[in-house]
Structure 1
Amino acid sequence: MGPTTNGATHDYQLLKNEFDVNLGLLDLFELLADLGYLGLVADYDLPPVSLPHRKPRRSKKCPVAALTDAQRAANGAHARRRVKVEHAISGAKRLGCVAQTYRNKSNSFNDRIMAIACGIWNWHLTQKKTNLI
């Protein structure tokens, strides 16, 4: 995970800026990505990355473009795994200063705010678990 950035920069572009293709750092992890990272396998020469199946384009040869039942089931399983990540991101954004426009000039403080928000969310999850027992 790299430093926080502002503006409308795509996540895959941030990943390419942060991790050099030749370092092989991404080979150490099991990658679970969405369709925004389609070029990941080709650019980084990785083992298979868990990506959902794309719906094929309609054409004259294939007028009915749809996923097979097996592909739909695989996409559902992929979504069930990814939803945990999306919930963690939204949990960190519950701290208002993470989700709103931040006007501090210090770049190092941006990362601290995100680390604090993630820590509070993790603490909330542990408290929620202990109260259920």
Structure 2
Amino acid sequence: MVKKLHTVKSIIITGQNRKVIYLSHIYGGRNHDYSIMKSEFDMDKQWFVDVTVRADLGFLGLVNDYGFKSDLRLPNKKPRKSKNNLSPELTKQQKIENRAHAQRRIFVEHSIGGMKHFHCLTHRIRSQSSVIMDQFFGLAAGLWNFNIS
């Protein structure tokens, strides 16, 4: 039973054709993206072999924990402000790389937005059953896949 959650999260894996390939169970909004990833995908198995993975900065630990031998693309992180670096900025090359990364990752954002297009995810779900919320997410992903095919 899920109580007092204002938001829910799920891990979504899509291809460049914008189809939802994988949709995880839902988690409370206070859970971090990478902790959800670790609970869904066992670190001992080779999950992402021979694929290019483009993730956002919420998944910085992927390289160390999952031992990527394939192509992993993450955006560049802005450096922290410190005594030596009072105005941290990304270099022009890093900004260009981040923009190119975002242009390739936009398919995932389009899939998420397409799932929200069916309005069952954007409105408040008053049921406190996580099973019903999982079914809403699954139905939205299935309708989105049907809509674009």
Fold shared, TM-score > 0.5 on shorter chain: yes
Q: Once the two structures are aligned, what percentage of the paired residues are identical?
A: 38
Q: CA deviation at 1:44?
A: 1.4
Q: CA deviation at 1:62?
A: 3.1
Residue segments in structure 2 that go unaligned for 5+ positions in a row: 1-22
Note the aligned Cα RMSD (angstroms): 2.3
Matched, 1:26 2:56: no
Greater RCO structure (CA 8 Å; 6+ sep): 2
Letter in 2 for 1:86: E
Q: CA deviation at 1:28?
A: 4.5
Residue segments in structure 1 that go unaligned for 5+ positions in a row: 127-133
Q: CA deviation at 1:85?
A: 0.8
> What's 1:62 paired with?
85
Q: TM-score, normalised by structure 1?
A: 0.77
**Contact 2:79–2:89 (Cα < 8 Å) also in 1:** yes
Letter in 2 for 1:71: Q
Q: Secondary structure at the match of 1:99?
A: coil
1:43-122 map, 5 Å: 43-47=65-69, 48-102=71-125, 103=127, 105=129, 107=131, 109-122=132-145
Q: Secondary structure at the match of 1:8?
A: coil
**Contact 2:115–2:141 (Cα < 8 Å) also in 1:** yes
Q: Secondary structure at the match of 1:26?
A: coil
Q: How many residues align?
A: 125
For the residues of structure 2 that align with 1:24 and 1:113, how far apart are their CA atoms? 30
For the residues of structure 2 that align with 1:46 and 1:10, how far apart are their CA atoms? 21
Q: CA deviation at 1:104?
A: 6.2
Which structure has the highest helix share of the two?
1
For the residues of structure 2 that align with 1:41 and 1:26, how far apart are their CA atoms? 11
> What's 1:10 paired with?
32
Q: Secondary structure at the match of 1:27?
A: coil
Letter in 2 for 1:80: Q
For the residues of structure 1 that align with 2:119 and 2:148, how far apart are their CA atoms? 18
Q: CA deviation at 1:23?
A: 1.0
> What's 2:63 paired with?
41
Q: TM-score, normalised by structure 2?
A: 0.70
